[in-house]
Structure 1
Amino acid sequence: MRIGGMEAAKVDELIQTSLDLGIDFYDHADIYGGGKCEEVFAASVARLGIGRDKLVLQSKCGIRKGYFDFSKEHILTSVDGILKRLDTHYIDVLLLHRPDTLVEPEEVAEAFTTLSQSGKVRNFGVSNFNPGQIELLQASLPMKLQANQLQLSITNTGMIDRGLTVNMKHNNSIDRDGGILDYCRLKKITIQAWSPFQYGFFEGVFIDNDKFPELNKVLGDLSEEYGVTKTGLAIAWIQRHPAKIQSVLGTTNPDRVRQVADACKIQLTRPHWYEIYRAAGNILP
């Protein structure tokens, strides 16, 4: 989502680095850079001579200026725009970006069926949905929803907190998402973690941030023990969860991509996972 204003050579380096490290899944959205990010990505792929079969492309639609729109017309029009900007005949995954309270599931089903039968979209999912919203939509769909993209990082652990503080008089025990973590595991829906390095809602990166001294001390100590960076540990912490969560890096820094790739080779112990969780200010009963 941040490549729209980058120099062509920098974008090329970012994509080539990730591919060299075995990362082939790229997440887009029609609103990123007003569509420019998809165009910039496609131009880089063309310069690098990367075959379409070497890439797994995902994009999202449904956010419009001032409102959300899951109408059949908007979904179909959005996908045509995405395909044109990405210079491809199909995308591997389409996500509905944020819940539209005016959604008519039957209309979404018509749009998804059209896209599937035409070969324009191979898989479908959602983003920032709770269990009830997924159930409502899934009831009308002929295909299974494959993914749900949700905010998750060491400092944004809402989907984890409630399950650890069940029936307690504590803010962490408040049900804010309908138990989306366990729901997705039960339904075999892949959770994709967005903003894995951010705290708050795009307020900044928590790594080496003075606002999180205890967390950074623990990350620093463990980074030496595991032989990876703090950045790598931030992803290793997410990857350690048995829900098999995919991390959407959102980075434009090739070095950070390398650090993450290194961290994918390790697995945190259970005590270390909980130590990081507590260091971020979370409680255990």
Structure 2
Amino acid sequence: MTGPPAGTGRALYGCMGLGGSWDDSAYTAADVGHAEAAVGAALDAGITAFDHADIYRRGKSEAVFGELLAASPGLRARITLQSKCGIRLPDGERPGLYDLRGPTIVRRVEESLARLRTDTLDVLLLHRPDPLARPEEIAGALGSLHRQGLVRRFGVSNMSAAQIARLRERLDVPLVVNQLEMSLGHRAWVEDGVLVNTAASAGNGFPHGTVEYCAANGIGLQAWGALARGRFTSGSPTPTGDLVRALAERKGTTPETIVLWWLQRHPAGIAPVIGTTRPARIAACRDAVLREPGLTHEEWYELWISARGAPLP
């Protein structure tokens, strides 16, 4: 069993919703205020790790966060800053693409640091696999960033065990994180482990053995989309939503916590990324940060079987 990724704690706050619109317009004072409220709620909930990417709101998520750091000089020392690079958004007639060329990685990190108004990233993730990437070129870029003190630790996002293994063969720095979509609503990662030798395994889609590979090699897992976009916590009457609410009442906590505990109860050491921008909903996740996952073996399975809508094979 591994614990949460180094320096990230039990959960992270995902900053993709901060910074205003996804177009090229500038962020506003209201956007900064909105970010301040969300980040304050995260800190109040015990979250001290913040997840960014260079593309979020076309860089504005990092920029408004940089405004908060500038306005509160002691904040940077209290938190872990994580960002990602490797995706290039569409630009004019050029489509969106992936780019993990060495010089691009270095340039994107330098731009993120400038927007965040900090000298160092605690963690850098490679956002998506680039089929044209050369592992030795990635290794050179990451090694340079580490030697210069621009990035302390490294990881990946949305990568399979085979992709991580190939990359690790060339790297001189360890990979400490793999961030994947994982939730009670997006269960392919856990279904993978029980659909072996069944007809349903072919349609599962999740790269077999990735969770196990990460656990065996000390690579922590982070779960994006961890709250399943409110599917089980919105109050709508569904069998799984009703079960989540009943468990929350029984445990003296919130439905959001139950959904996050379901991830955290897994022995791979999953740290959920909480992406809502609503302070009240961020506050509802507090027990997932400050309390041990309070689900029994049977309750964990009850949630899984209810969400999948069918018995286990």
Q: TM-score, normalised by structure 1?
A: 0.93
The alignment partner of 2:192 has SS state of helix
* Equivalent position to 2:222, from 153, 176, 192: 192
Query: Any residues of structure 2 matched to 1:17-36 within 5 Å, and which?
Result: 17-36=41-60
User: Given the alignment, which residue of 16, 37, 60 partners 1:13?
Assistant: 37
Q: Does the aligned pair in 1 maintain the 2:19–2:35 contact within 8 Å? A: no
Q: Which residue, out of 214, 236, 239, partners 2:264?
A: 239
1:178 Cα deviation after fit: 2.6
| Percentage of pairs with the same residue | 38
| Pair 1:63 & 2:87 matched | yes
Would the aligned equivalents of 2:19 and 2:32 in 1 still touch at CA under 8 Å?
no
Structure 1 stretches lacking a partner, 5+ long: 199-203
Q: Give the drift of 1:172.
A: 7.5
Shift of 1:189: 0.4
Task: Say if 2:152 is the partner of 1:122.
Answer: yes
SS of corresponding position for 2:189 = helix
Structural mapping, 1:106-185, within 5 Å: 106-171=136-201, 174=204, 176-185=206-215
Identify which of structures 1 and 2 has the higher relative contact order when contacts are C-alpha pairs closer than 8 Å and 6+ apart. 2
Deviation by residue 1:220-244 (Cα, 9 ceiling, x = unmatched): 1111101112111111111111111
Partner of 1:284: 312
- Contact 2:265 2:295 (C-alpha < 8 Å) held by counterparts: yes
Using a 3 Å threshold, how does the CA distance of structure 1 residues 22 and 12 change in structure 2: closer, same or farther? Answer: same
Cα displacement string for residues 31-82 of structure 1 (whole angstroms, at most 9, x for unaligned residues): 0000000010111222234332111000000001321011011001000000
Q: Is the 8 A contact 2:188 2:204 kept in 1?
A: no
Contact 2:233 2:244 survives alignment (8 Å): no
- Cα distance in structure 2, aligned partners of 1:10 and 1:190: 30
TM-score (norm 2): 0.85
Q: Does 1:258 align with 2:273?
A: no
Secondary structure in 1 aligned to 2:212?
helix
The match for 2:77 among 41, 53, 56 is 53
Once the two structures are superposed, residues 89-146 of structure 1 have per-residue CA deviations (whole angstroms, 9 ceiling, x without a partner) of 0000000000001110000011001100000000000000001100111100001111
**Secondary structure of 2:221's match?**
strand
Corresponding position of 1:201: none
Q: Deviations over 1:134-191 (max 9, x none)?
A: 0111100001111000000101011110212221122487463131111111111001
Q: Secondary structure at the match of 2:17?
A: coil
Please give the alpha-carbon distance, in whole angstroms, between the structure 2 residues aligned to 1:205 and 1:146.
29
Checking the alignment, whether the CA contact within 8 Å between 2:53 and 2:83 is kept in structure 1 is yes
State the one-letter code of the partner of 1:247: P
Give how far 1:279 is off: 1.0
**CA drift at 1:9:** 2.6
